[in-house]
Structure 1
Amino acid sequence: MRTVGIVVEYNPLHNGHLYHIQQSRKITEADAVVAVMSGHFLQRGEPALADKWARAEMALRAGCDLVLELPVAYSAQPAQWFAHGAVAILEATGVVDALCFGSESGDLATLDRIAARLATEPDALRRRLAELLKEGRPYPTAYAEAVRELLAAEGDEAGAGFGLDQPNHTLGLHYLLALRRLGSRIVPASIRREKSEYGQTSITDGAIASATALRKLVADAGGALDGLAPYVPPSTLDILRREAAAGRAPLTWEHFARPLFHQLHALSPAALSAFAEVTEGLEHRIRASLRGLPDWRIEALLDALKTKRYTRTKLQRTLLRILLGHGKAELSPERLAAGVTYIRVLGFTDAGQALLRRMKRDAAVPVVHSAAAGSWPYLDLDARAGAVYAAAFPVPDPDAAWRDYTHPPLRL
């Protein structure tokens, strides 16, 4: 059984994602699709619109065969560690043959050539990156500029002009770097993103819109979901309606305002500095920004904190690590680089079950179906994150705080 892996968030799963699943299967001639999916909290430091089990069901109903969880230790990270964690999981399964990702151009050859040059992280790149960061550039901007300058200096004008400041190109590059650094046998493929850009807030097509634009559509409608109908598969809309009726969706950052503000007011600057992502004295800026806020909304706090150096995404990740209690040591580069020590299953089809049988023999790490299966540090973080997420449900459900221990994988 030939298998393609994809890395997803599905916040929510829309028609563009459906196209990605279908094309990934087609261009790699795969019999099955394995999705590594972020759990309750996502790469830009945001909570998911609906919980990970609902989104895993969206994935299965859209054509994925096996859904595996990307631990929150990796899911709410910059591109380097997000990609490393996801690729490490696909590699550890022992059953994935290809990885297909979307990009702005679909130009795999140029991306792979750049990845080959950067896989050992040249000293010149590290030095220039450090200089740009010292000047106050945000990391993604500084990294893209340092790579551009390196490639231009070496005469690779095509690589230098490739546009690594575009988010899907950046993420694609880091997928390719992770494959090389892990010595993976997985073969990469890429498809061009069509009709909507990553993070685009406006809707310019009758059937395709970015997840960002769809979340804005829901927010502008006061949480009403009917406006999503042209842009998502019917199964996605049915699942979201069910979750909303049960009081579990749609969630936004503002549902977490009270516990987060409690943490920010209760902890000293020294205590705040111990959390992951709190760097360069950011703890003092956070404490100072609490005074004079017009109200206790996360949006107001982000507006007060944002600077040229501290992007919204960086600040959201910082606030998320404080909310979840993630310390620097837990998420150190050394711990993250070590990769995954288990694989968590969220859902599967009949074809996915056949893959799971193969994984029992071929996987490099244990395959687990719940947090009750044993104690792994990053699985424990996921269980704690699940409890925090459940506590924000519009309709209280104490049992939901324990779903990581009690909820079996979904089978379709």
Structure 2
Amino acid sequence: MLTAGIITEYNPFHNGHRYQIEQTRSELDCSHIISVMSGNFLQRGLPAVCNKFMRAEMAVASGVDAVFELPVVYATASARDFAYAGVDLLNKLNTVDYLVFGAECDDLSLLESVAEILIDEPASFSACLKKNLAEGMSYPSARANAIKSCCPAGADLLKEPNNILAVEYLSALKKTHSSIKPYIIKRTSVGYNSEDITGLICSASAIRHLLQETCLAHISEPDALFKTFYQVLPTASADLLKTDYLHTYPIFEDHLTSILQYCLIMQNDVPDTVDMTEELYNKLKKTKLLQSYAAIAESLKSKDLTQTRINRTLLHFILDIRKNTMSMYKESGWNHYGHILALNRSGSDVIRQIKRNSDLPVFTKPADGIRFLSDTGRLLFEQDIKATRLYNTAVYAAYKTELPDDFTARLPVRS
């Protein structure tokens, strides 16, 4: 039995994701595919457009055998921590043979060369990075520029988001001495952030943009939107989105506005929030409170801080993800459980193998699984529970729909 793992967000699950799954099965001849997926909040520091159980169901309806949740503290972290946590979880399941990922570059040796630089940090790289940061560059730009000093061929590599994650996956595999082998499926169609919809495959960004534009236009019966769903999404994904439109989704950052405003009113001192600096907090406290979440985030942007970094910081602030607890989670072994969000009946063999081999408690029902967790594992899982409930409050405020939490949700199972 050959098993591939994919670390993903599926926001939402579209034809490009289905293509990756189909290629993984055909090129690797693997019998099973499992996914480690972000929950209700994402690596860009934003809420998912629809809830984690719906997105997980989309995946298992289109060929994934099981979807595990990446804990929210890692799902909303930097690319480095996001990738490391995903690889660590796959490692600890002791069942995965390949880590499959998409990238704009499919030159594995070049990507591995850049990964080695980031792991070893030779003197020329460190000096250039330090100089770039001192000159006010954002960290991603400073790092990409510093790569030139050690690997000219990789100079433009880190300008593409999937290449960045690919390098971080390779770094994580090496750092953890993983037996999992990397496998690249090159992205050949649209760009990660492209908002164009012209064929059967488009980016998730384009789908979210279309959703947002449709909502802003207050179109309650959007035939054109639904037609696009069935063009660029697998039928199961399109069916779920059509059924729940303006009922449980879409959710965007501005749906978190009142939560952010409340947190700002109640906070008196610089919080111990991951990614928060005293300078950024002071700037945040001076912003106009009565404006949207997106407007507050936009007002904080500067030359040395990317919008994504600011978005992550604000999200960590409202989710109460703290530096001291984040350090504790990492120091105690990163992942402490495997929470399954959805299953495909055809994957029963791989689930049995995972449960036999896993170094972690693996569960579908949190009420049963939580009693097997360590104290640190419970704290980590409580962050996921709190994140789900916060997301659900945003859904209720927007659509007056009560979504189930982690303890009451029905596990999506597809054939």
TM-score by length of 2: 0.90
Tell me, in whole angstroms, the C-alpha distance in 2 between the residues paired with 1:137 and 1:336: 30
Which residue pairs with 1:301 in the alignment? Answer: 296
Match of 1:289 among 284, 287, 294: 287
The residue that corresponds to 1:275 in the other structure is 273
Report the secondary structure of 1:340's partner residue.
coil
- Shift of the 143–117 alpha-carbon distance from structure 1 to 2, 3 Å rule, reads closer
Counterpart amino acid of residue 238 in structure 1: D
Q: Do the aligned residues in 1 keep the contact of 2:145 with 2:155 (CA within 8 Å)? A: no
What aligned pairs does 1:21-100 form with structure 2 within 5 A after superposition?
Answer: 21-100=21-100
Give the Cα–Cα distance (whole angstroms) in 2 for the partners of residues 265 and 336 of structure 1.
33
Given the superposition, is the C-alpha separation of residues 334 and 124 from structure 1 closer, same or farther in structure 2, using an over 3 Å criterion? farther
Alpha carbons of structure 1 residues 252 and 208: separation in structure 2 relative to 1, 3 Å: same
Q: Is the contact made by 1:50 and 1:248 (CA closer than 8 Å) also made in structure 2?
A: yes
Question: Structure 2: which amino acid aligns with 1:363?
Answer: S
Residue 3 of structure 1, CA deviation: 0.6
Question: Do 2:144 and 2:155's aligned partners in 1 also have CA atoms closer than 8 Å?
Answer: no
Contact residue 370 and residue 408 of structure 1 kept, 8 A = no
Residue 184 of structure 2 is aligned to residue 180 of structure 1: no
**Does the aligned pair in 2 maintain the 1:3–1:31 contact within 8 Å?**
yes
- SS of corresponding position for 2:67: strand
Q: Is the 8 A contact 1:371 1:383 kept in 2?
A: no
Aligned residues: 397
Could you tell me how far 1:407 is from its partner in structure 2?
2.2
| TM-aligned CA distance change 1:6 to 1:333, over 3 Å | same
User: Aligned AA for 2:179?
Assistant: R
Give the conservation status (yes or no) of the 8 Å contact 2:117–2:150: no
Distance (whole Å) between structure 2 residues aligned to residue 114 and residue 337 of structure 1: 28
**Which residue of 208, 217, 222 maps to 1:215?**
208
> Which shifted more, 276-285 or 119-128?
119-128
CA-CA distance at 1:275 after TM superposition: 1.3
Tell me by how many angstroms 1:298 deviates: 1.4
What's 1:154 paired with? none
Aligned residue for 1:11, secondary structure, equals: coil
Looking at structure 2, the residues matched to 59 and 106 of structure 1 have their Cα atoms a distance apart, in angstroms, of 24
Give the superposition deviation at 1:81: 0.4
Q: 1:127: Cα distance to partner?
A: 4.3
How far off is 1:398 after superposition?
A: 5.0
Q: 1:194 aligns with which of 177, 181, 188?
A: 188
Task: Specify the alignment match of 2:237 in structure 1.
Answer: 236
Paired letter, 2:305: Y
Return the offset for 1:352: 2.3
Whether the 8 Å contact between 1:201 and 1:213 is mirrored in structure 2 is: yes
1:371 aligns with 366
Offset, 1:99 = 0.8
Displacement of 1:123 after TM fit? 4.8
CA distance, structure 1, for counterparts of residue 332 and residue 142 of structure 2: 22
Q: Encode CA deviations 1:370-400: one digit per residue, 9 max, x unaligned.
A: 3322252221100000000000112334563
Identity of aligned residues (%): 33
Residue 165 of structure 1: how far off its partner (Å):
1.9
- 2:159 equivalent in structure 1: 165
Q: Which residue of 1 aligns with 2:253?
A: 253
Tell me, in whole angstroms, the C-alpha distance in 2 between the residues paired with 1:356 and 1:44.
Answer: 30
The answer on whether the counterparts of 2:147 and 2:155 sit within 8 Å (CA) in structure 1 is no
- Paired letter, 1:26: S
**Cα offset for 1:261?**
1.0
Residue matched to 2:128 = 128
Using the TM superposition, give the Cα deviation of residue 120 of structure 1 relative to its aligned residue in structure 2, in angstroms: 3.3
Task: Show structure 1 runs of 5+ residues with no match.
Answer: 152-156
Instruction: Flag the 1:366–1:125 CA change in 2: closer, same or farther, 3 A.
Output: farther
AA in 2 matched with 1:316 = N
Counterpart position of 2:341: 346
State which drifts further: 340-349 or 328-337: 328-337
1:206-234: CA deviations, max 9, x gaps?
21211111111111112744233321111
Equivalents in 2 of 1:399, 1:237: separation in Å? 20
Q: Which residue of 1 aligns with 2:383?
A: 381
Aligned residues of 1:370 and 1:407 also touching (Cα < 8 A): no
Deviations 1:63-86 (A, max 9, x none): 111111111111111110010011
Q: How large is the Cα RMSD of the aligned pairs? A: 2.0
* Residues 193 and 34 (structure 1), Cα distance of their counterparts in 2 relative to 1, 3 Å cut: same
Alignment of 1:102-113 (within 5 A): 102-113=102-113
Instruction: Give the aligned partner of residue 119 of structure 1.
Output: 119
Instruction: Indicate the SS of the match to 1:195.
Output: coil
Q: 1:16: Cα distance to partner? A: 1.1
Whole-Å separation in 1 of the counterparts to 2:274 and 2:155: 34
| Residue pair 1:371, 1:379 contacting (<8 A) in 2 also | no
Q: Check 1:14–1:174 CA distance in 2 against 1; reply closer, same or farther (3 A cut).
A: same
Q: SS of 2:148's equivalent? A: helix
Query: Given residue 360 of structure 1, which amino acid in structure 2 is its aligned partner?
Result: K
For 2:293, give the aligned amino acid. Answer: I
Can you list the C-alpha shifts for 1:287-311, whole angstroms capped at 9, x where unaligned?
Answer: 11226xxx52112112211112121
Q: Which moved more, 1:87-96 or 1:342-351?
A: 342-351
